[in-house]
Amino acid sequence: MLKEKLLNLLFPPKCVLCSRVLSDEQTDLCHSCRQDTDEFTKSKKKFSFVAGWTSLWYYTGNVRHSMLLYKFYRRRSYGPIYGRLLAMKLHAKPLCSYDVLTWVPVSRFRLMQRGYDQVELIAHSLGQELGTPAIPVLTKQRHTKPQSRLNTPERRRANILGAFRVNDITSIQGKTVLLIDDIITTGSTISECARVLLTAGAKAVYCAAVAVPHDKKEKRR
């Protein structure tokens, strides 16, 4: 307890979205981020091979800023917080019942470059909260260009096709898989993961992400 207090004095817990120091009664998010952040509600997007999906937030404003820090500026501690918040959302609004919890892995190149698999950290924390440990079902067997830099669906599909393989087919055969991702940019990555999982014998694949961009039409409003 004393150690915890000392650590809090040295490294006061901060809001994961705006970095404001949190008061004693706040956890993970400050009051204004909890009130004002663009929480995901619905989308018309459908992704091939994915039975259903959800997200915690929309990828805008503070969420976008926070996730860029997490991915590119080594804010490793954000991962478990995103996972915990996504778990709360899934607990409040269950997406599906599932047998296996896993995540969209990064390539070995990206892992070495970043030092951590950002989606794995989210999935492990989420699994702990929901009582189902996340297991490594997929391996990304080659490095690919970021999907967001490719401008047509065909290019994105070609970029990611065959990039993932299932580690152990028996772990998912006949099972419903909940796949965790950080950001669903265009959906081509989760579609490819779901295709590979279904080909290997999974019964159904659902996906939950931390953030997703607004549907284009909503954005213009």
| Interface ranges with Zn ion (CB under 5 A) | 15, 17-18, 20, 30, 33
Residue 217 to residue 197: CA distance in whole angstroms:
31
Burial class (CB in 10 A: 0-12, 13-18, 19+), 51: middle
Contact present, 215 and 45 (Cβ < 8 Å): yes
- Whichever of 61 and 201 has its CB closer to Zn ion, that residue is 61
Min dist. Cβ of residue 29 to Zn ion (A)? 6
Residue 145 to residue 84: CA distance in whole angstroms:
29
Residue 88 to residue 33: CA distance in whole angstroms:
16
Min dist. Cβ of residue 25 to Zn ion (A)? 14
Contact present, 33 and 62 (Cβ < 8 Å): yes
Contact present, 173 and 198 (Cβ < 8 Å): no
Burial track 125-141 (b if 16+ CB lie within 10 A, e otherwise) = bbbebbeeebbebbebe
Min dist. Cβ of residue 7 to Zn ion (A)? 21
Min dist. Cβ of residue 27 to Zn ion (A)? 12
- Whichever of 62 and 191 has its CB closer to Zn ion, that residue is 62
Contact present, 208 and 52 (Cβ < 8 Å): no
Min dist. Cβ of residue 30 to Zn ion (A)? 3
DSSP state of 23: P
- Whichever of 33 and 87 has its CB closer to Zn ion, that residue is 33
- Whichever of 30 and 63 has its CB closer to Zn ion, that residue is 30
- Whichever of 81 and 194 has its CB closer to Zn ion, that residue is 81
